[in-house]
Amino acid sequence: MGVKFFGQYLIESGEVNVEQVRAALELMGTENRSIGELAVEGRLLTKADADKVNAEQRHRDMPFGELAAEMGFLSEEQIDNLVQLQWRTRLRIGQALVRSGHLEKARLEELLISYEEEQAPHRIENHALPEGLASNALAPYVLDLFTNLLMRVARIATRVGIGESIVEPPNFPIQVAVSVSGESGLLICLVGDEDFSRTLAAKASRLDPECLDTEMLFDGVGEFLNVLVGNAMAIAESNGISMELGPPQTEIDFESGFLFELVVNVGNAALFLKPL
């Protein structure tokens, strides 16, 4: 069992079906207010200015708040407050299912407890962060999940060392990174020798290690990173932080950032994090 969306958990549990989830999402779409609507309601923005931002959004693929700040209508602080307000007042999927009549309120409360219990193993101890990473909202989740996920997915036991500012690029044959863009951008890179990478790629995919060519080693390590970072982003998002994940990459810029030595029971490896 991995980290999962509450609506998917309800479908898998047989509590609701996909059509009922869709109906609840429709209700959320009509009830939940956009950043622009909240800004107008809070008199931070006139309707005319909000319309100007919306019109500009049709030509540029940018979030409303970011564009409104660029156009000089809202300050960074106002946008942060609006995002928090939007998050606090948002109708959530469970509540929407109750409102749509597909779930009893008392049953929702029971299911939220079961869901939290099932998800609890994915929320583990806090990890000490070096100063340069302390303000990054995603890095703690990545580090917290790393050890647990590596064991669960590949049966590799790990101890994560203290992150230190990188002095020179790590020298490992397999190096894969994924980058996360958004309000807490981060490059996450896992590097390892052939033993570590082959074990990880094979166990994570349940394929025969001898069948994996070099490209599949990169690919398997990249897939593990995707799962690690996707799960970390899901937890960050449940705390109101939004971001986007890019596909794995093998061209990595190691200038600045933090290297975490890994003590693993197979081969050698390290984790590199760099705020973007």
Partner 1 sequence: MSDKKLTVLIVDDSRTVLAQIESVVAANETVEVVGTACNGAEAVQQVSQLHPDLVLMDIVMPDVDGLSALRLIQSNHPETRIAMLSSVGAMASKAEEAFRLGAIQVLSKPIDEDILGALFAQECERARPEGGSQ
Q: Tell me which residues touch partner 1 (CB under 8 A).
A: 1-8, 11-12, 17-19, 21-22, 25-26, 28-29, 93, 152-153, 201, 204-207, 211-212, 215-216, 219-220, 222-223, 226-227, 229-231, 233-234, 237-238, 242, 245-247
**Cβ distance to partner 1 smaller for residue 161 or 246:** 246
- As measured in angstroms, the least distance from the Cβ of 29 to partner 1 is 8
- As measured in angstroms, the least distance from the Cβ of 164 to partner 1 is 28
261 closest CA partner among 275, 252, 273, 250:
273
- Contact yes or no for 230/138 (Cβ under 8 A): no
**Cβ distance to partner 1 smaller for residue 49 or 223:** 223
- As measured in angstroms, the least distance from the Cβ of 5 to partner 1 is 4
Structure tokens at 240: 């109101």
**Cβ distance to partner 1 smaller for residue 53 or 180:** 180
Residue type, 29: G
**Cβ distance to partner 1 smaller for residue 179 or 259:** 179
- As measured in angstroms, the least distance from the Cβ of 34 to partner 1 is 14
**Cβ distance to partner 1 smaller for residue 4 or 33:** 4
- As measured in angstroms, the least distance from the Cβ of 12 to partner 1 is 7
- As measured in angstroms, the least distance from the Cβ of 206 to partner 1 is 6
The whole-angstrom separation of Cα 23 and Cα 141 is: 32
The whole-angstrom separation of Cα 212 and Cα 7 is: 36
> Is 21 exposed, middle or buried, given 0-12, 13-18 or 19+ CB atoms closer than 10 A?
buried
> Is 99 exposed, middle or buried, given 0-12, 13-18 or 19+ CB atoms closer than 10 A?
middle
Structure tokens at 83: 């995002």
**Cβ distance to partner 1 smaller for residue 9 or 73:** 9
Contacts of 123 (CB under 8 A, 6+ apart): 144, 235
189 closest CA partner among 255, 135, 242:
255
Strands 258-264 and 186-192: unpaired
- Contact yes or no for 199/116 (Cβ under 8 A): no
Contacts of 140 (CB under 8 A, 6+ apart): 126, 127, 129
**Cβ distance to partner 1 smaller for residue 96 or 160:** 96
- As measured in angstroms, the least distance from the Cβ of 52 to partner 1 is 26
